[in-house]
Amino acid sequence: MSYKYTVEQVSAGHYVLPRTGAMRTEVHGWLSPALFAQTDEALWSQAARAAASPGAIGLHLMPDTHLGYGIPVGGVLVTEDTVVQAGSGYDISCGVVYLQVPGLHAADVADVARRRAWVDAVEARVATGLGTHRPRLAPRLKAPLLDDVLRHGARALGVRAEVCERQFIPVTDAFNPHRVQRAHAKALPQLGSVGGGNHFIELQVDRDDGQVFVMVHCGSRGYGWQTANHFFFEGAALRGLPRARREESWLRIDEPLGRLYWDHHNSAANYAVANRHLIVQGVREATQVVFGHDAEVYYEISHNLVQEETLVLPDGSTQRGFVHRKGATRAFPAGHPDLVGTPWAATGHPCLIPGSMLDGAAILFPEPGAHRSACSVNHGSGRVMGRGQAKRDLAALHDDIDAEMQGIERMLGGVKVRGVVGNTARTPLDECHHVYKELDAVIEVLALEGIARLDRRLYPVANLKGTD
């Protein structure tokens, strides 16, 4: 049967795939007509399979959704008592930290040479790309810090809880950091590094008031990948799945392997949060050296994580559940029970949304309608082209893409700023703006449906990619 053509549009930005066959819950797609038209049968078939997961009680597709494995990217699966490992995938707790630079404005970063100096200063302090190298000014970390990080995340670094989505997720006394030795071997050498793929450090300027921010986007590095890979195989063996289908495995939270995975998943989340905040230290130093201003953490949040949360049901009652955000961002609005006692209780917490390296990023705040989307929003603008395809199909346009990055002019806070300075000789084709949806079109859906509002729209002026 066709799933896409059984989807019903119920409002301007809301589509529903009715429950059918083995599906345990219907699928809600938060999409404009144009974004719905970009989806295909493979995406909706994958969503239907995810909705059939044991314990599933809800499934949502964010407006940046596209085909993934197990669960669509931009997919939010809610379960009662099970954990589906694909809900965090291989980069457990990939996410973003935003820094604001008080007193630094668009006019201060308009000069290309100063931005180039900032890129060089960051590279001297923060490792980018694959592997375990450390630049000359990066801190040399000691083994005792790692054990504290795996258990206590950002708290191990003295980071304040109010600037974190979660300072750390508890692990039990049974947690053994050496159990997955391949993961543990990667952990210390890569702590405080960006990694490859779509991860980056970016100097950005607010479109309207010209304030300067820095966005850091990275995850749990080799520790998270090896942890996920280990438990995909273990889960497949337990469920009787062939190794080639290991990414379909799932675990009950009350069974031994489920408890073991939950501990290690949470330790990888703690690692990712601490990793971002260690990178912050190098970024702050570089910003002080080049611009003479210190940066301060605005907020930090994950967008690739399973979390146990309080679910607010349509009748106003609550229950606990596991929310799998596979390329989606948590969005607790004002009054959410899990925000009680935090500085964000009256406003909701910020949602930090990266976009492409040309088209910029956004800060959103959840609206009351966020409860309709399992308190979730998009995690970016969403890919429309895979990495291999981008490298093949865009090769002939590489000169034009480079020229666009160097020549783009924008008025930011009333100041003309030209070009995006990078740390790569050429624009990575698999990360250029052609491979992503339009961020503004994605955000508009959330505003239309009362899920979130735009607070800041920011554009890049310098970018460091974690090259492969």
Compute the mean pLDDT over every residue in the chain, rounded to the nearest whole number: 95
> Where does 235-287 show beta strands of DSSP type E?
250-252
Model pLDDT for residues 176-214, shown as the tens digit of each residue:
999 999 999 999 999 999 998 889 999 999 999 999 999
**Which of 299, 373, 377, 370 has the alpha carbon at shortest distance from 334?**
370
Q: Which residues contact 112 (CB under 8 A, 6 or more apart)?
A: 418, 419, 421
As given in the structure block, the two tokens for residue 126 are 């923060």
> What's the length of the chain?
468
As given in the structure block, the two tokens for residue 108 are 């201060």
Mean pLDDT for the stretch of residues 25-31: 98
CATH topology of domain 4-465: tRNA-splicing ligase RtcB (3.90.1860)
Mean pLDDT for the stretch of residues 24-48: 97
Q: Any bridge partners for residue 412, and if so which?
A: 415
Q: Active site includes 379?
A: yes
The answer to whether 378 and 353 are in contact (CB under 8 A) is: yes
Q: Hey, where are the domains in the chain?
A: 4-465
* Cα of 371 vs its chain's centroid, Å: 20
Mean pLDDT for the stretch of residues 106-133: 93
User: Which among 379, 398, 433, 434 is annotated as catalytic?
Assistant: 379
Q: Is the pLDDT of residue 133 over 80?
A: no
Identify the pLDDT of residue 468: 57
- Global pTM? 0.96
Higher per-residue confidence, 97 vs 131 = 97
Mean pLDDT for the stretch of residues 252-275: 98
Identify the pLDDT of residue 297: 98
* Cα of 42 vs its chain's centroid, Å: 23
Q: How confident is the model at residue 356 (pLDDT cuts 50, 70, 90)?
A: very high
Find where tokens 């700023």 sit. 417
Neighbours of 347 (CB within 10 A): 14
